[in-house]
Structure 1
Amino acid sequence: MTRINKCIELIEQNQAIFAVSAPELTYECGKEMSQTWADLIQFDFEHHPFDTVGLSKFMKGLKDGGPTPSGHLTPTVITTVPSNCMTPEEVIYNAWQIRHVLSTGVHGILHTHTRRADAVATFVAASRYVFQTIGRDQGIPEGLRGGGGQKEPAAIWGMDPTDYMWKADPWPLNPNGELLLGLKIEDRFCLPDVDNIAAVPGISFAEWGPGDMGMSHGDPALHDPPYTQEMDDARNLVKSACDKSGLAFLCSWQDENLTIEERARHALHEIGARILHVPDGAIADKLRKEMGRKMPW
């Protein structure tokens, strides 16, 4: 049975997920991107205006332009939010941002500066409906999403609002869930407890956020390689934590001394990334074929 969230299927098949960014949040842009060669569309609310009205229009255009060549209603869409995930209190006070984003019909959230495991557990709870119980015995608090905002995302997902509420739950914590929750483990304060942060039930992927990681270590110009040993060590700690907890690792490689294809190959085969940004669809096609991908694109 085809899932709503195609990237869950790709993770289960150990296939690479190729991501692009949405250039603008309009209905027209969504309709145009409905046939994108990419698997994942991301949008950054961490540093850009929090335009959930535009996001809602984008999602409607995406749905109206579908289905995708793989037979899914839309590509997967994941956004960040303006707040961080440093403490449980910060997540609770800003849970409205998570509700508003998910109520547009997106398929997940990538949270930022995830410094503590209890803050991450609160993030998982903020993404769930209150009646969900899977994981409550593993330290996940009661869900914080309530009724009232399910009609619009249900239409994007092509299902009844009640069915949406059951499906809009984090995978793989809920095997039937369709949400992907990710972490930016992206500063030096995250690293001492990185294994426990990555092990929180309900999380499916993570990245090391090289730009913020570099600034956290005192250098604002370390977003791209070559990296210092300190930065390599930080990335390796995050990647190791992902491996221990079965999370997909999000990492691109923007080395100006390499071609675009060489960068993608380095990220996939040397770094071990499974989610990466590639600007050229032809390169993504080539790598998909080499990896034996079965899902059409």
Structure 2
Amino acid sequence: MPSMSMAHAMSNCLRAASVVGLAFAATTTLADAPTQRLNPMIGLIEQGKPVMGLYAPNNRRPYGAPADAPIPNKTPAQLAKETVAYKLSDFVFDGSMEYKYEETLPVFTAFAKALSAENHLSKKPYPHIAYPMVVKIHEIAPDPELAAKHIGEQLDLGVSGIMFVDVQSPEEVKRGIAAMRYPAQGGTRANSVGSAPKYWGLSEKAYRAKADLWPLNPKGELINWVVVESKEGLKNVREIAAVEGIGVLWPGAGTLRQVFSTVGEDGKRVVDEQAWEAAIQSVLSACKEFKVACGIPTTPDQIEMRMSQGFSVFVMNWGDAGFKTIEVGRKASNRS
């Protein structure tokens, strides 16, 4: 991300741009958008409105806290209650399964089960999942078959979206897309459903009908997020963005910051701010060219500028800064 002063300058220059129409990103026009979506994230994207969500609360030490600060020890039920107490997040995000999948899956499973026991469904203004879950899967390329198996396990928990990390080629995206679709839809997902129908508030038959990938299936309620966060991925970003079936394309801003940085003689990391921002903008440019929604993590002082640039899907850390970012984003985009 640019420096704060640079961000304010960019924000002032771009503020006149339309925020509500921010996305070159919607693959369907507002006139074509369904009036009701079980997965509200998809409905917002179809209408050209920003999607803003938070990481799920967890038991990690808060960001910026002293090293000797106590680590929380909340139960899954407590974390689930904390999640549903905040009403303005469009999705619940979990990135824990990017690493050590076998260890982190049971932890997320317990949280998903606890969340299912809460009031996670809403009937107003129409039936929908009030807290759709989106999760990371580990890199696909090293072992596509294992990744596909794990994607199926995540979907069986009732998640509505999968984030493919560190994508470097179109083939990885195609493998991930296939893993999210049942064989009857041309995919490789196992024919199980797990607890997903219960989380979605559907019968097994209805779940199978709706559990297909949007926008490949305009009536599908599953979405994938694709993250580009390496120089190889940036080199292939146009070919990646051109793959049909991508729901949201993201620059992996945090990782790219490391990619475009070096360690100085004093041992401190020095970021090439211009190269880093250029990398972010190259992903956004591909999003615009291929009419794919573009996502980025952001902060209260950055979200309006990023909206004006054309980003339309945002994820923030749980806590006051994340809550403030959603408040600013909703006001800027006239979302009540």
With the shorter chain as reference, the TM-score category is: 0.7 to 0.9
Could you say which residue in structure 2 is the equivalent of 1:257? none
- The structure 2 residue matched to 1:247, chosen from 292, 310, 330, is 292
One-letter amino acid matched to 1:209: G
Could you say which residue in structure 2 is the equivalent of 1:266? 305
Q: TM-score, normalised by structure 1?
A: 0.82
Whose radius of gyration is greater, 1 or 2? 2
Partner Cα separation in structure 2 for residue 163 and residue 76 of structure 1: 17
Could you say which residue in structure 1 is the equivalent of 2:47? 13
Q: Which moved more, 1:33-42 or 1:19-28?
A: 19-28
Give the direction of change, closer, same or farther, for the CA distance of 1:187–1:282 in structure 2 (3 Å limit): closer
Checking the alignment, whether the CA contact within 8 Å between 2:260 and 2:272 is kept in structure 1 is no
Partner Cα separation in structure 1 for residue 39 and residue 220 of structure 2: 9
One-letter amino acid matched to 1:268: M
Unaligned runs of 5+ in 1: 133-141, 254-259
- 3-state SS of paired residue (2:300): helix
Give the deviation of 1:48 after TM superposition: 6.2
Give the deviation of 1:92 after TM superposition: 2.4
Could you say which residue in structure 2 is the equivalent of 1:293? 335
Partner Cα separation in structure 2 for residue 206 and residue 163 of structure 1: 28
Note the alpha carbon deviations across 1:219-259, whole angstroms, 9 max, x for none: 379xx997522222211111111112222211134xxxxxx
Please tell me whether residue 284 in structure 1 is matched to residue 335 in structure 2.
no
Give the deviation of 1:286 after TM superposition: 4.5
Could you say which residue in structure 2 is the equivalent of 1:146? 190
Q: How does 1:1-297 map to 2 (within 5 A)?
A: 2-24=36-58, 26-36=76-86, 37-44=88-95, 45-47=97-99, 50-66=103-119, 67-68=121-122, 72-81=128-137, 83-85=138-140, 87=141, 90-132=143-185, 142-148=186-192, 150-217=193-260, 219=262, 228-253=273-298, 260-269=299-308, 271-278=309-316, 279-293=321-335
Checking the alignment, whether the CA contact within 8 Å between 1:56 and 1:105 is kept in structure 2 is no
Give the direction of change, closer, same or farther, for the CA distance of 1:115–1:291 in structure 2 (3 Å limit): same
* CA root-mean-square deviation: 2.6
- 3-state SS of paired residue (1:251): strand
Note the alpha carbon deviations across 1:94-126, whole angstroms, 9 max, x for none: 211111111100101111111111121111001
Q: Which moved more, 1:57-66 or 1:237-246?
A: 57-66
Partner Cα separation in structure 1 for residue 80 and residue 263 of structure 2: 33
Could you say which residue in structure 1 is the equivalent of 2:12? none
Note the alpha carbon deviations across 1:14-54, whole angstroms, 9 max, x for none: 11111211123823322331242211211112146553333
One-letter amino acid matched to 2:94: F
- 3-state SS of paired residue (2:326): helix
Q: TM-score, normalised by structure 2?
A: 0.73
Give the deviation of 1:61 after TM superposition: 2.9
- 3-state SS of paired residue (1:262): coil
Unaligned runs of 5+ in 2: 1-34, 59-74
Partner Cα separation in structure 1 for residue 261 and residue 326 of structure 2: 34
Give the direction of change, closer, same or farther, for the CA distance of 1:290–1:235 in structure 2 (3 Å limit): closer
Give the deviation of 1:152 after TM superposition: 0.8
Aligned length, in residue pairs:
272
One-letter amino acid matched to 1:43: D
Partner Cα separation in structure 1 for residue 301 and residue 208 of structure 2: 42
One-letter amino acid matched to 1:31: K
